[in-house]
Amino acid sequence: MSPSAISTHRLPAEWEPHAATWIAWPHRRATFLGPFAEIPPAYERLARVIARYEPVRIIGSPEVLAAPRAALADAANVSFVEIPTSDSWIRDTGPVFLVPRADAADGRPQAVCWNWNAWGGKYPPWDADAGVSRAIARQLGLDPIEPGLVLEGGAIETDGEATLLVNERCVVDERRNPGVDRAGMERAFEHWLGVERVLWLGGELAGDDTDGHIDQLARFVAPGRVVAARQPDRSDPNHASLAANLDLLAGFTDAHGRRLEVIPIDIPARFAFQGTQLPASHLNYLVGNGFVAVPVFGGPTDEPALRTIEECFPDRRIEPVDCRALVRGRGAVHCVTRDEPAAG
């Protein structure tokens, strides 16, 4: 990527205007626990929620797309794009978009297309997913920008003002980028995403096969404001690492020197399916044009989480999304969506 491209574009916050949201239709049973028949209807319900607010673009091979074409035949604002996939976690396989700065001559977004190896080689084969970000970029008429490093979209979180939240566990990883240390990743974030400050967290939720993606743990809700997952139940394996992250966040300042305001959100305790604890987090939400789609899990933490997120986004409608099926794939709303920012 040329220096001029970095100087004219920036990494946007999710609450900035969207052109669309992308979804990869599920077809790989192996990454979901329990009955797979419940999974496509969960994606369908989510697509219908989002389509009330912004266009939804669903990808898959022609064979995979036959099912959603039929299920969503009556849905307005939904289109289908023939891009083959290995799996359905498009937050991680899709491009990371940059938007033009105010003085940019080119008003189009740019698509940064990181390498993909299924979270450090966990779920072969992943060859089709390795091409998803570049295929989406070309579909939009954008030249793919290729840093040559592995990075998943769910591993980074920004305030839109050059601050990046990441979890070291899933970013500095020999299975993803052998020989690249923390300083090397910081240089990559600066060069390819225009980031000026990286805030490093740790830990992971029990059952999370991503090694601790940040979109389960801490999210910006505005510049200088962060919501963070908390687990008050000391018997839950997530308690200690989430408490440590809250302590770290309280001491951070962003790229503009603001000390972060940290708002805790309690997540479900010991949430499991058939004895396997799963990473159920209300922070795996999607912010879109006039809405926030928030995961709920049918328990006592749902309503408090919805109220807190509503207070953080008072100008948006809060849309609860039942994720008891989705989380059996160890993800939720944010993991299965990729927001495309509006052109400048």
What CA–CA distance (Å, rounded) separates 249 from 244? 9
Active site residue 113: no
- Residue 333's φ and ψ, nearest 5 degrees, are -60, -50
What CA–CA distance (Å, rounded) separates 205 from 241? 8
In a domain, 27, yes or no: yes
Segments forming the whole domain that contains residue 229: 3-339
In a domain, 181, yes or no: yes
In a domain, 36, yes or no: yes
Average pLDDT of span 231-250: 97
What CA–CA distance (Å, rounded) separates 125 from 133? 17
Residues 6+ apart with CB under 8 A from 115: 130, 146, 147, 148, 149, 150, 151
In a domain, 23, yes or no: yes
Q: pLDDT tens across 182-237, in order?
A: 999 999 999 999 999 999 999 999 999 999 999 999 999 999 999 999 999 999 99
In a domain, 261, yes or no: yes
Name the pLDDT band for 97 (thresholds 50, 70, 90). very high
Written as six digits, the tokens of 196 are 């000026």
Written as six digits, the tokens of 247 are 């302590």
Q: Which of 170, 312, 323, 335 is catalytic?
A: 335
In a domain, 344, yes or no: no
In a domain, 89, yes or no: yes
What CA–CA distance (Å, rounded) separates 340 from 106? 17
Sign for the CA dihedral angle at 227, 119, 331, 339 comes to positive
Give which of 41, 12, 31, 47 is closest to 93, Cα–Cα.
31
- Residue 120 CB coordination number (10 Å): 17
Domain of residue 215, CATH code: 3.75.10.10
In a domain, 11, yes or no: yes
Q: pLDDT tens across 303-327, in order?
A: 999 999 999 999 999 999 999 999 9
What CA–CA distance (Å, rounded) separates 33 from 185? 33
Average pLDDT of span 272-296: 98
Radius of gyration of the chain, Cα coordinates, nearest whole angstrom: 19
Q: Is the pLDDT of residue 2 over 50?
A: no
- Residue 292 CB coordination number (10 Å): 23
Amino acid in the structure at residue 46: L
Average pLDDT of span 44-71: 98
CA 310 to chain centre: 19
Longest dimension (CA), the chain: 55
- DSSP H helices, 219-316, are 239-250, 302-312
Note the pLDDT of residue 344. 66
The domain total for the chain is 1
Q: Is the pLDDT of residue 110 over 70?
A: yes
Residues 6+ apart with CB under 8 A from 101: 7, 8, 9, 10
Q: Which bin fits 45, alpha (ψ -120 to 50), beta or left (φ > 0)?
A: alpha
Name the pLDDT band for 6 (thresholds 50, 70, 90). low
Q: pLDDT tens across 12-29, in order?
A: 999 999 999 999 999 999
What CA–CA distance (Å, rounded) separates 91 from 152? 7
